[in-house]
Amino acid sequence: MGLKRKVENSIYRLKFFLVSKIFCLISASLFLSQLATGQELNPLDGDPRAARVGGSIFRAQCATCHGADAKGIDSIDAPDLTLLYTGSGTSDESVFNTIRDGVSGSIMPAHTFPDTEIWMLVSYLRSVGLSGISTEIDGDPVPGELLFIQNCSTCHRRGDQGGALGPNLSQITQVRSLEALINSVRNPSASIARGYKPVSVTTEDNEQVQGVIKREDAFSIQIMDTDQYLRGFSKISLREINYEEQSWMPVFSESELTNQDLNNIISFLQSSL
Ligand code: HEC
Ligand code: HEC
């Protein structure tokens, strides 16, 4: 080997040595910073491809139980995973561990996927997760309470007061974004909450019953009617079942409820119970 070649070779080795040392230092400091926060962070955080691929894995492996939209399937008690991050104490790491280890004593299985695929699932669940209102609302809870009682509480409960035709709104500002809340009020039928699908049926004696579907299988249907009584029917006894497209929640336009009124209601819903 010529001298030039030898020198080049050792320069190359030196470079390789330095690069690998730097790499070790970087990974060691990453490791230390994770130790310092006490939490394992999702290494794919912020990579939109990870959430996309995670979504495909989810539909192939998890949707039979949790639903293709991750909103859960009531009949087998598989929870709505879009609410995962609304609870306190949920971190990417705890979700990772649940997916890997399963939940003992339940049908939620352990998964032996490579770590990267589990992190992709975590990225996906983060991306569909609801996280509530983070900004300060320009509203006043005092007039908001009155407006809520006048316009909303016949159908909605907050704390231990109010009706049950619509969902309980006690924690709603922790699980829905501001945009979603405003949409629910201005355009209720655009997205109808689970357990509140509108239906009308005609009984054998031609009684018309309108309400929301609480439970349904091939043979029977349970409805909370618009007077808020629970009623059960066997389907064979019904003359007609109409699955409605329009929510029983009325549309509140800006002439009935101004943006300021709505902000006041939202800040009332946000205030502590
Ligand atoms: C055979 C049905 C089934 C399959 C398949 C399944 N799960 Fe589950 N999963 C459940 C059930 C049931 C629970 C509720 C367990 C409990 O707490 O009793 C659950 C709980 C969870 C939880 C915890 C929810 C919470 O509120 O703490 C996460 C996260 C989760 N599943 C993610 C997944 C992911 C991701 C997949 C696919 C890789 C998956 N599951 C596949 C049935 C399933
Ligand atoms: C006549 C009954 C009725 C009245 C009055 C009513 N709602 Fe509703 N609301 C419903 C029903 C039923 C649903 C569920 C179906 C749907 O999503 O449209 C609902 C859904 C909602 C949701 C969505 C909840 C979720 O989980 O996403 C919000 C937010 C809401 N209502 C707020 C209000 C507010 C604020 C008022 C008063 C300004 C009001 N509602 C008045 C019946 C009502």
Closest by Cα among 100, 111, 122, 128 to 45: 122
Q: Is the pLDDT of residue 67 over 90?
A: yes
pLDDT for position 7 = 60
Percent of the chain at pLDDT > 70 equals 84
Output the pLDDT for position 127.
85
Q: Give the mean pLDDT of the chain.
A: 87
Contact 106, 80 (CB under 8 A): no
Would you say residue 228 has pLDDT above 80? Answer: yes
Asked if residue 263 lies in contact with residue 139, where contact means CB atoms within 8 angstroms, the answer is: yes
Q: Mean pLDDT over residues 255-265, rounded?
A: 97
pLDDT, position 59: 96
Alpha carbons within 13 A on the beta-carbon side of 63: 10
pLDDT for 19 equals 53
Atom of ligand 2 nearest to the CA of 266: 35
- Answer whether 71's CB lies under 8 Å from 192's CB: no
Whether ligand 1 lies within 6 angstroms of the CB of 121 is answered as: yes
83 lines ligand 1 (CB under 6 A): no
User: Looking at ligand 1, which residue's alpha carbon is closest to its atom 5?
Assistant: 62
| Protein residues whose CB sits closer than 6 Å to any atom of ligand 2 | 151-152, 154-156, 165-167, 172, 176, 181, 184-185, 188, 192-193, 196, 212, 247-250, 252, 257, 265
Question: What is d(CA 21, CA 37) in angstroms, rounded to the nearest whole number?
Answer: 24
| Torsion of the alpha carbons at 77, 82, 84 and 88, rounded to the nearest 10 | -130
Q: Name, in order, each residue with C-beta under 8 angstroms of 272's C-beta and a sequence gap of 6 or more.
A: none
Average pLDDT over residues 102-109: 95
- Return all residues near 255 (Cβ < 8 A) that are at least 6 apart: none
Widest CA span of the chain, in angstroms? Answer: 105
Q: Which atom of ligand 2 is nearest to the CA of 193?
A: 17
Distance CA 140, CA 260 (A): 9
188/257 Cα distance (integer angstroms): 14
pLDDT tens, 46-58? 788 999 999 999 9
CA of 263 to the centre of ligand 2 (A): 15
Average pLDDT for 174-179: 80
Residue with tokens 């009984």, as numbered in its chain: 203
Average pLDDT over residues 239-257: 96
Distance separating alpha carbons of residues 83 and 176, to the nearest angstrom: 9
Identify the pLDDT of residue 174: 81
Position in ligand 2 atom list of the atom nearest CA 212 = 12
Average pLDDT in the 117-143 region? 89
- Ligand 1 center from residue 60 Cα (angstroms): 14
For residue 122, pLDDT beyond 70? yes
Whole-angstrom distance, CA of residue 172 vs CA of residue 162: 15
Among 171, 170, 172, 173, CA closest to 134: 173
Identify which of 66, 126, 127 to mutate to test ligand 1's pocket (most ligand atoms within 8 A of the CB): 66
Ligand 1 atom at minimal distance to the Cα of residue 90 = 27
Burial class from Cβ neighbours inside 10 Å (0-12, 13-18, 19+) for residue 256 reads exposed
* CA–CA separation, 114 and 45 (whole Å): 17
188 CA distance to ligand 2 middle (Å)? 7
Average pLDDT over residues 63-91: 87
pLDDT per residue as tens digits for the range 11-60:
556 555 555 555 545 555 545 444 444 567 899 987 889 999 999 999 99
Residue nearest to atom 35 of ligand 1 (CA): 99
Given the CA of residue 58, which atom of ligand 1 is nearest to it?
37
CB 79, CB 107: distance < 8 Å: no
Which pLDDT score is estimated for 268?
Answer: 96
Closest-CA residue to 130 (of 70, 170, 187): 70
CA dist., res. 53 & res. 44, Å (int): 11
